[in-house]
Amino acid sequence: MSHAPAVPVLTIDGPSGSGKGTVSALVAERLGWRLLDSGALYRAVGYAAGAEGLDLSDVEAVTRCAQGTKIQFRAASGGETRVIVNGHDATDELRTETAGAAASAIASMPSVREALVALQLGFRRAPGLVADGRDMGTVIFPDAAHKVFLTASAAERAKRRYKQLKEKGLNVTLGGLQREIEARDSRDASRAVAPLKPAEDAVLVDTTGMGIDEVVAKVLAVAQS
């Protein structure tokens, strides 16, 4: 039996603040490929669980929530993507540090990760997919032809987050952000399932001191190699 050629996937994994989100969106646009923001799925489940008043350490309840939460991505004007959780536009709430911390906590539960697998695989459609996350190249799309792992120093990542959040008028401190980023990194990297680590066949790109255009060019070169 002959198989149709697999839809190409470019995975972009790395810690928060490495520039993954911005770079993935720009690269997907340049390639004309679809985009999977897998972090938004974990954020959406954390948000939905919070909205239901669940205890975020209750694995059974949070797993049921992950199985039952309806998550939709909707294109808005100006190329922006809105995230709709159970019919509510939760885009702004999902960007907060609180949502990130909740996402990181529930993402350590294997049954929650399992509940999100099919949804993620469904994004793989022609002409191609850019998959942004922590375990895209290691667990979800291990057969991806192109894999990138983006990093940057914790100090640089804290600076970038600080700038983004300040622009949104949020009240944050640089030191506090760096501590939160380091705590989240170590939780994401040390968890038993799908820890944050580069796939063996990933190209490592350290974005410390690099501008967005330079990073996009490097990642596009990997996708076209």
Minimum CB separation from ligand DC for residue 1, in Å? Answer: 32
Nearer to ligand DC, 38 or 207 (CB): 38
Asked if residues 162 and 174 have their Cβ atoms less than 8 Å apart, the reply is yes
> DSSP string of 3-48?
-PPPPPEEEEE--TTSSHHHHHHHHHHHHT-EEEEHHHHHHHHHHH
Question: What distance in Å separates the CA atoms of residue 125 and residue 74, rounded to the nearest whole number?
Answer: 17
User: What are 158's two structure tokens?
Assistant: 């804290």
Minimum CB separation from ligand DC for residue 38, in Å? Answer: 4
Nearer to ligand DC, 35 or 107 (CB): 107
User: What are 86's two structure tokens?
Assistant: 């159970």
The SS3 assignment for 150 reads strand
Nearer to ligand DC, 63 or 104 (CB): 104
Nearest position to ligand DC, beta carbon: 39
Minimum CB separation from ligand DC for residue 16, in Å? Answer: 4
User: What are 124's two structure tokens?
Assistant: 């793989």
Minimum CB separation from ligand DC for residue 113, in Å? Answer: 7
Minimum CB separation from ligand DC for residue 13, in Å? Answer: 7
Amino acid at 166: K
Q: Which residues bind ligand DC (CB under 6 A)?
A: 16, 38-39, 42-43, 100, 103-104, 107, 133-135, 184, 188
Question: What distance in Å separates the CA atoms of residue 149 and residue 132, rounded to the nearest whole number?
Answer: 10
Nearer to ligand DC, 140 or 216 (CB): 140
Nearer to ligand DC, 5 or 185 (CB): 185
